[in-house]
Amino acid sequence: MAELPEVATHPGTFARAWAKAVSGTSYLPMTQAQLETLLHRLTGQLAGALLTEPFDLRAGHRVGAELVAAHIASAEGLGRTVEVIQLRLVRDLGLVAEDVEDRMARLLAAVATGYARALRDRTLDEQESIRRAAMRARTQAERALRASEARFRHQATHDPLTGLPNRTLFTERLTAALNEPGRGAERVGVCFLDLDRFKVVNDTLGHQVGDHLLVTVAERLCKAMGEHLLARLGGDEFVILVERSGGTDDMLEVAETALAAVRTPALVDGHELQISASIGIVERQVAGANPSDLMRAADSTLHWAKAAGGARWALYDAERNQRELARYALSAAIPAALERGEFYLDYQPLTSLRDGSLVGVEALVRWRHPELGVLRPDSFIGLAEETGLIVQLGGWVLAEACREAEAWSAGGAAAPFVSVNLAVRQVHRPGLVQEVRALLRQTGLPPERLQLEITESTMMSTAEEPVRALRVLADLGVRIAIDDFGTGYSNLAYLRDLPVTELKVAGEFVAGLRSPSVGRTDERILASLVSLAHALDLTVTAEGVETAGQAERLRAIGCDAAQGWHFGRPAPADRILARIR
C-alpha cells in the first residue's frame, strides 16, 4: 500500500462537500453533523481503496451498502455521490497513483454495485416484512373474526344484561326436550314468570335501577332453580323449563320456590324494593306437545295470575282457555258484525205504576250471530267494554234507538221516550254532546224523548268533564237517569248537584218483594229511597219486576214506574208501535 499524503489523513473538506451534495435527496434520520461524520469515515475507506495494493473493490461495495443503510437511497443521492467522488476525491485529498483514473472508474462502479445490491436487499427485506405483517394482520383478523363470531353466538343465545339463556336458546332446549327419542310418555313443564308492577320501578326510579333489579332477580332465581333451565325472554319476563316433570305437584313446588326467591326485599342502588311475581304454569305429556303451544298456554295462564291480583301462580286449564279463545274471537268479530248489520234492538216497556200507561222503553241490543244464534248483551257487552269497541257499538245503539223512536210519533197517542245505556267510555268521550245533538237533528227526535242511562259509579266520579257534558244535554231537554241505583255509592245528597231526572232502582232490592211475608227490610229501604228521591224532584223506576205482588207493593210505597217481565218482555220496535196504537 502506498503511503498517503499528509492531506489524505484529514478528509474533512471532501466529506463536507459530499454531505452538502446528498442533503435533501432523501429523508435522512440524522443531523448534518452526524451525516458529515459518517461520510468522513466513508471518505477514508474510498481513499484507502484507491491507494491499496493489490487493488480491492470490496471497499467500494461496502461504501455503497453503507449509503443505503444510512437512507441515502434515492437515485439522485447515488448520482450526486458518484459525481462528487469523481470530481473531488482525488483533488481534495491529493491522492497520487500511477493508474488512479482507472482505479477511480472501477471504484465508482463498485460503489454503484454495492449500492444497488443493498437497495435490492433492503427492498426484498421490506417486502418480506410487509408480507409477514400482512400475514400477522390476517391471522389477527381471523382470530378477531372467530372471537367476534363466538361473541355473536355470548349474544345470539344469551341475554346481555343478566347472562341468562335467552328466548332462542330456551326454545332450542324446549324443542330438543320434546323431540328426544323415547320420551313420549314422560312429562314436561314450563313456568312463565313476570314481575308485578315492574313498570313502576322503571318509571319512578329509572331504568338503571330497573336493570339492576332484573340482575338481582336473575341471580336469585338461578340459585333457587338448581338444575332447571332459567331464561330471560325480555323485559321482566323469565321462564323456567322443567324437562322431566313428575306431575303437577312438581311444577307447583318449582313455582312456589320461584315466588319465594323473588319476594324477598331487594336493596338496589340504595333503594329497598319489595317485589313480587306472577307465574303461569303449564304441565303436560311430551307426546303431542310442541313449543309454540306450550309457550302460548303458559302466557295465557300468566295473565290469569295477573288478573287475579298477582303475587301468585295459576295452573293452565284447557276449558278456561277455550272460553277465553271464544271470548277473544267474539270480541274480534264485533266490528265486522256492525258492518254486516247483525246487531238489532229490542225494547223493554217502562210502565207507569199510577195508571199502567207506557211512559218509556229501554233499548236493549241483540246480536244475531251467524253461528251462535241470537246473543244477549251479557254475552258481548263486557267484551266490547274491555276492548274499547263499546264506543263504536254504543254509538250505533244510540243512533238506531233515536231513529226508531222517532217513528213512534206517528202512533197518534203520546209516544214514549227511549232510554239508552251509555258505557263509561262513551260518557268520557269529549264529543258526546256534539254526537247527541247531531243525532237529534238528523232523526228529528225531540230531546225530551231521549233518556241516557248512566251507571251510578260513573256519575259519582270526581271527573268534571263528563258531568259538565251531561249538564249541557240536560239543558237541551235530554233525560238523564242513573241505572242500577243502590249497588254503588248510594249517595243521594250528591245527587242534588247532578243533572239527573230519574233513578232506576236495582233489581236486587225489588227481588225481595216477591211475597208479603219476606222482604220487609228491602221494602223499607225502597220506601226511604223513593221518599228521598222525590224530595230531590227525581222520579223512580224499579227494575226487575216479575210479579203482580211486587208491582202492588212498589205502587204502595210511591214508586213512579217499573219495568220487568210482569209489564212486558223486550220486543222489536214494530211491537212497541203496535202497543202505542
* pLDDT of 512: 78
Q: Is 207 exposed, middle or buried (0-12, 13-18, 19+ CB in 10 A)?
A: exposed
Q: Give the residue carrying C-alpha cell 361473541.
A: 151
Report, as an integer, the average pLDDT of 168-174: 95
* pLDDT of 286: 93
Q: What is the 8-class DSSP label of residue 7?
A: G
Q: Which three cell numbers stand for residue 131?
A: 408480507
Report, as an integer, the average pLDDT of 110-135: 87
Whole-number Cα distances in Å, 42 to 13, 16, 271: 13, 12, 80
Per-residue DSSP letters for 443-478?
A: H---GGGEEEEEEHHHHTS--HHHHHHHHHHHHHT-
Of the pLDDT bands very low, low, confident and very high (cuts 50, 70, 90), residue 6 is very low
**What superfamily would CATH give domain 167-316?**
Reverse transcriptase/Diguanylate cyclase domain (3.30.70.270)
pLDDT reading at 415 higher than 80: yes
Of the pLDDT bands very low, low, confident and very high (cuts 50, 70, 90), residue 413 is low
**d(C-alpha 351, C-alpha 374), whole Å:** 26
Task: Give me the torsion for CA of 254, 258, 259, 261, rounded to 10°.
Answer: 140
Give the whole-number percent of the chain exceeding pLDDT 90.
55
List, in sequence order, every residue forming a beta bridge with 284; answer none if it has no partner.
188
Of the pLDDT bands very low, low, confident and very high (cuts 50, 70, 90), residue 480 is very high
* pLDDT of 487: 67
* pLDDT of 370: 94
Which residues make Cβ contacts (< 8 Å) with residue 147, sequence separation at least 6? none
* pLDDT of 254: 96
Of the pLDDT bands very low, low, confident and very high (cuts 50, 70, 90), residue 169 is very high
Per-residue DSSP letters for 101-154?
A: HHHHHHHHHHHHHHHHHHHHHHHHHHHHHHHHHHHHHHHHHHHHHHHHHHHH--
Which strand ranges, in their side-by-side order, compose the sheet holding 313-315? Answer: 229-234, 237-245, 187-195, 277-285, 313-315
Which residues make Cβ contacts (< 8 Å) with residue 520, sequence separation at least 6? none
Q: What is the 8-class DSSP label of residue 231?
A: E
CB atoms near residue 254 (< 10 Å): 25
Architecture of domain 11-128 in CATH? Orthogonal Bundle (1.10)
* pLDDT of 174: 95
Of the pLDDT bands very low, low, confident and very high (cuts 50, 70, 90), residue 81 is confident
pLDDT reading at 126 higher than 70: yes
Per-residue DSSP letters for 135-203?
A: HHHHHHHHHHHHHHHHHH---SSB-TTT--B-HHHHHHHHHHHHHSTT-TTSEEEEEEEEETTHHHHHH
Report, as an integer, the average pLDDT of 281-287: 95
**d(C-alpha 556, C-alpha 517), whole Å:** 16
pLDDT reading at 91 higher than 90: no
* pLDDT of 8: 42
Element (H, E) at 361: strand 358-369
Report, as an integer, the average pLDDT of 449-464: 80
Instruction: Say if residues 72 and 14 touch (Cβ distance below 8 Å).
Output: no
Topology of the domain comprising 347-362+389-580: TIM Barrel (3.20.20)
* pLDDT of 290: 92
Of the pLDDT bands very low, low, confident and very high (cuts 50, 70, 90), residue 151 is low
**d(C-alpha 387, C-alpha 329), whole Å:** 12
CB atoms near residue 520 (< 10 Å): 11
pLDDT reading at 185 higher than 80: yes
* pLDDT of 9: 46
pLDDT reading at 1 higher than 50: no
The torsion angles phi and psi of 272, rounded to 5 degrees, stand at -90, 115
Report, as an integer, the average pLDDT of 401-423: 87
Q: Which three cell numbers stand for residue 472?
A: 249541557
- How do strand 417-421 and strand 358-369 relate by DSSP bridges? parallel
Report, as an integer, the average pLDDT of 184-205: 94
* pLDDT of 30: 87
Report, as an integer, the average pLDDT of 362-375: 96
Q: Which residue did the predictor score with more confidence, 364 or 409?
A: 364
Task: Point out the least confidently predicted range of 113-122, 259-268, 276-285.
Answer: 113-122
**d(C-alpha 17, C-alpha 156), whole Å:** 70
Q: What is the residue-averaged pLDDT of the chain?
A: 88
pLDDT reading at 92 higher than 90: no
**Tell me: the pLDDT tens digits for 504-550?**
998 888 887 876 665 677 788 889 889 988 998 999 999 999 999 99
**d(C-alpha 281, C-alpha 299), whole Å:** 9
* pLDDT of 144: 78
Instruction: Say if residues 209 and 219 touch (Cβ distance below 8 Å).
Output: no
**d(C-alpha 255, C-alpha 238), whole Å:** 12
* pLDDT of 150: 65
* pLDDT of 293: 94
pLDDT reading at 433 higher than 70: yes
pLDDT reading at 71 higher than 90: no
Instruction: Provide the angle, in degrees to the nearest 10, between the axes of the packed helices 58-69 and 75-84.
Output: 140
Q: How many angstroms from the chain centroid is the CA of residue 7?
A: 92
Q: Which three cell numbers stand for residue 34?
A: 452526524
* pLDDT of 47: 86
**Tell me: the pLDDT tens digits for 47-57?**
888 888 888 88
* pLDDT of 350: 96
**d(C-alpha 86, C-alpha 233), whole Å:** 85
* pLDDT of 4: 41
The widest CA-to-CA distance across the chain, in whole angstroms, is: 160
* pLDDT of 518: 58
Q: How many angstroms from the chain centroid is the CA of residue 382?
A: 28
Report, as an integer, the average pLDDT of 244-253: 94
Q: How many angstroms from the chain centroid is the CA of residue 450?
A: 45
**d(C-alpha 560, C-alpha 320), whole Å:** 44
**d(C-alpha 259, C-alpha 280), whole Å:** 12
pLDDT reading at 490 higher than 60: no
Domain extents in the chain? 11-128, 167-316, 347-362+389-580
